[in-house]
Amino acid sequence: MADTALMDKLVSLCKRRGFVFQSSEIYGGLGSVWDYGPLGVELKKNVKDRWWRAMVHARDDIEGLDAAILMHPRVWEASGHVSGFADPLVDCRQCKNRFRADDPRIKGTAGQPDAQCPVCGSRGTLTEPRMFNLMFKTFMGPVEEQAAIVYLRPETAQGIYVNYLNVLQSSRQKIPFGIAQIGKAFRNEITPGNFIFRTREFEQMEMQFFVQPGTDVEWFERWREWRMQWHHALGLTPSKLRWQQHGPDELAHYARAAFDIEYQFPFGWQEIEGIHNRGDFDLGRHQQFSGKKLDYFDQAANARFLPYIVETSAGADRVALTLLVDAYREEEVEGETRVVLGLHPAIAPIKAGVFPLVKKDGMPEVATELYHDLRKQLPCFYDDSGAIGRRYRRMDEAGTPFGITVDGQTQSDRTVTVRHRDAMRQDRIGIDRLGSFLAERLAG
Ligand code: GAP
C-alpha cells in the first residue's frame, strides 16, 4: 500500500531544508518540474560524480561525452521516437481534461456512450483514444514552421550513437568500449508524479557499450552485475532492491533483452535504472537514415561488423529520490521525535557541522577558524545559533554525518568533540587529527 504520509513528510523536509523546491513556486508552480536547492544540488552532484568516477574515471574502456540537447530532427525519426514514443490519450469534451486511455479511474470504454469522465463525471463525453507524442517540440531559427521543428531530447542515448565514430576515432579505443554521458532529458509525461520520481525535465546517466555481435549476452550479464553493485555501494537497503525482467510483450522496440533495477518506494516497486541489450538497432537505423557507414573493422579478427550495444540508463533524480526515501527515518530520543536522513557519508551534501558550544570564552573564534580550514577540504556548515541539541537536530535532518563542537576543553588541549549522526556517540579528537579522521570516514 502506498505510504503517502512518508512521501508527504519527505517532500516537506526537502523544502524546509533546501533540497527540492517546486519550479516557479511563486507563480503557483509548474506541473512536475522541480528545482534543486543548496542541499539538493550537492546531493545530486554527489550521485553524478560517483557515477562518473565508476563509469569513466575508474575504467580505461569508457569515454565521456557531453552532446547537445538539440539534435537534427532526423535523429528522432531514426530512433523511432517520432513514430513510436507516444501514449494513447482521451479528452473529455465537457471539462477539457485529458487522460491516458488506460487510466484506471475511467469507467467504461473511452469513445463509447457508457464511458464516464473521472473528473467531471459526465457520461459519453470521452473521445476515442488518440496517440500523443511525449517529445517536447520547439522551433529553431526565426520562423515557427513545420520545417523548423526541433525536439528537446527525450533521452541522452541518441547523442552517443551519432557520435560513436567521432569518439572511437579520436580516443583510439577499440571495441569493446563504451561512451558515458550525463545530461538533461525531457518528456511531456501524461501521468507524472510522486515528487521527483517522474518529472517532465530530468537528468539521465547513460552509458552505451559497443561490443562484437555474439559477445553481447556476456557483456549484458556483466553490466547487470556491475550496475547492481553500484546501487548497493550507495548504502541502499539491500532488501529494497530487486531485478525485474521485461517480458517479450513489454520490451521496447529497440531491445532484445531488458532488466530494470527496481527499488521499493513508499508507492511500490519502481524502476530506477534499465539495462538493455539493444543489438544493432540503433547503429543500423542511424546508418540507414544518415547514409553514413557506421560499421567497425576489427583488425585482430579481420572482421567487419555493426557493433551491438549494451545500455545502462539511470535517472539521477530517481537515484537522488531513492537515497532520500531510503535514508529518511524518525526516532524517539528523550521523549522527542528525531528526524534523520541517514545518508551514506560520501553522498551527504554537507559532511560536517561546526559549532561553538556557547557564544563566549573564545569558542566562536576557534570554531570559525576551524570551519574555514575544514571548508578547504570538504563541504561544512557553521552554526552558532540556538541550543547545541537543536543545532545537532538540524544537521540530522540535512543528513550531515558529523557534528564538530568546540567547547571549554578546546582552549586547553586543542581537542574537539565529534558527534556521529547515527549513533549520536561523541569522540574527542585532536584538531590536528580532524582532517584525516573525517577523510577516512568519508571515503568510499
Ligand atoms: N535510453 C533508454 C531510456 O531512456 P528509460 O527506461 O525510458 O530508458 C531510463 O529511462 C531511466 O531514466 C529510468 O530508469 C529513470 O531512472 C529515468 N527516467 C525516465 N523517465 C523519467 C522521468 N519522466 N522522470 C525522471 N526520471 C526518468
In this prediction, residue 3 carries a pLDDT of 75
Burial of 57 (0-12, 13-18, 19+ CB in 10 A): exposed
Instruction: Provide CB contacts within 8 A for 265, sequence distance 6+.
Output: 194, 197, 321, 322, 325
In this prediction, residue 193 carries a pLDDT of 82
In this prediction, residue 2 carries a pLDDT of 62
Q: Where are the alpha helices (DSSP H) in 53-136?
A: 73-78, 81-84
Residues of the chain with pLDDT under 70: 1-2, 444
Indicate the top mutation candidate among 51, 155, 228 to test ligand 1's pocket, ranked by most ligand atoms within 8 A of CB.
155
From atom 21 of ligand 1, which residue's Cα is the shortest distance away?
198
Where does 357-401 show beta strands of DSSP type E?
Answer: 380-382
> Is the separation of the CB atoms in 53 and 346 below 8 Å?
no
> Is the separation of the CB atoms in 323 and 231 below 8 Å?
no
> Is the separation of the CB atoms in 274 and 293 below 8 Å?
no
In this prediction, residue 14 carries a pLDDT of 98
Distance CA 261, CA 246 (A): 11
Q: Long-range contacts: 408-414, Cβ < 8 Å, 24+? A: 408/357, 408/361, 408/363, 410/363, 410/366, 411/361, 411/362, 411/366
Ligand 1 atom nearest to CA at 156: 1
The SS3 of residue 395 is helix
Ligand 1 binding pocket includes 274 (Cβ within 6 Å) = yes
Indicate the top mutation candidate among 36, 311, 318, 325 to test ligand 1's pocket, ranked by most ligand atoms within 8 A of CB.
318
In this prediction, residue 1 carries a pLDDT of 47
The SS3 of residue 207 is strand
Indicate the top mutation candidate among 202, 246, 262 to test ligand 1's pocket, ranked by most ligand atoms within 8 A of CB.
202
Query: From ligand 1's centre to the CA of 106, what distance in Å?
Result: 26
In this prediction, residue 444 carries a pLDDT of 63
Buried-exposed string 171-189: b where 16+ CB fall within 10 A, e elsewhere: eebebbbbbbbbbebbbbb
Ramachandran class of 395: left when φ > 0, alpha when ψ lies in -120 to 50, beta otherwise: alpha
Distance CA 143, CA 96 (A): 30
Ligand 1 binding pocket includes 159 (Cβ within 6 Å) = no
From atom 20 of ligand 1, which residue's Cα is the shortest distance away?
198
